[in-house]
Amino acid sequence: MSKVVVGLSGGVDSSTAAALLHHQGYEVVGLTLWLMKGKGQCCSEGMVDAAYICEQLGIPHHIVDSRELFQTHIVDYLVDGYSAGITPLPCSQCNRAVKFGPMLDYAREQLGIDRIATGHYARIDYDEKGDRYQLKRAVDLNKDQSYFLYDLTQDLLAGTLFPLGEVLKTETRQMANQYELKTADKPESQDLCLVEANGSMQAFLDKYITGKKGDIIDTKGRVLGQHEGIHHYTIGQRKGLGISAPNPLYVVGIDAGRNQVIVGDRESAVQTECTIKRVNWVSISPPNTPIRTQVQIRYRSLPQPVTVIPINPPEGAEIDPKIGSCVKLIFDEPIFGITPGQAAVWYDGDLVLGGGIIDIQIPINRE
């Protein structure tokens, strides 16, 4: 009988994944990461529901205190990012550094089990020709979470199961009811765990960042108004600017050094290229020449045709670990609201080729 450690958040997806594997004959062990205090599936409420599910299934349940890890890799990461004028994406960072990596380490080192599973909607295949594990979109494209998983390593893919990758969300609910799980009708999480726990991202950030007033300027440097802190703004934002203008204005840049928010018309927020840092080629070996593919710059954005150009460091130069491998993206059509700190993930059909963090500077005319 194969053993597997299932990450349980207390939601219906992870609960059903555990029940499905249990009924398939796996020897299942439940594992919940204690990330922070408060409401939400990843917090106190989630741990209670996860424990109840394990009791229902008659399986062991382990709780690991991961609060310090979450503080360092997610809370501090977000605070530092917003303070620097970018909009970080915590989920991909959390999956690799807080969840999958530590979970697999705990399973191997503490339980002697070499495989973990989660309730994520994605698929993993093995390419014998390339001798590489591959990450693919889920069958249910409306629930596909591969965008947030691009940063997983080959070791993590080799040791992970996604039991829900081949099913629809409606089927997950049906199975949860069939197994009479307590979480079968539990409402789905609609936002980031930190947002759920704090009420809004702004409320969370205001706990850590002291707002500093500054200028809102246009792309020519003219002052249009005042802001209460750059961490309240993101590229492409239109509402809540607190300024009036005859035509719609959007945030097109954030200058943390000058404590300024730059606004312009929609055309000013459109770009034809950007650079990507901390690139992970998840399903293929890193290419040395440009490739044609499709890219998503947000979780819910439609894939757009793009040329991915590797940026190779000078011969003999060491790669800065904070930046990692880099590529340039050149879009076939201009893209609105490319946001520094968010992830760009490129696909070949269902196959996730790679991804990284958007690192872009909007040129501002200060003459």
- Which positions are catalytic? 94, 193
Crossing angle of helices 44-57 and 12-23, rounded to 10°: 20
Q: What gap in Å lies between CA 189 and CA 60, rounded to an integer?
A: 25
Most distant pair of Cα atoms in the chain: their distance? 71
Task: Say if residue 97 is exposed, middle or buried (CB neighbours under 10 Å; 0-12, 13-18, 19+).
Answer: middle
Q: With the C-alpha atoms ordered 89, 92, 98, 99, is the resulting torsion angle positive or negative?
A: positive
Alpha-carbon torsion 278, 162, 44, 65, what sign? negative
Q: Give dist(CA 165, CA 54) in Å, integer.
A: 22
Beta strands 270-280 and 351-359 are antiparallel
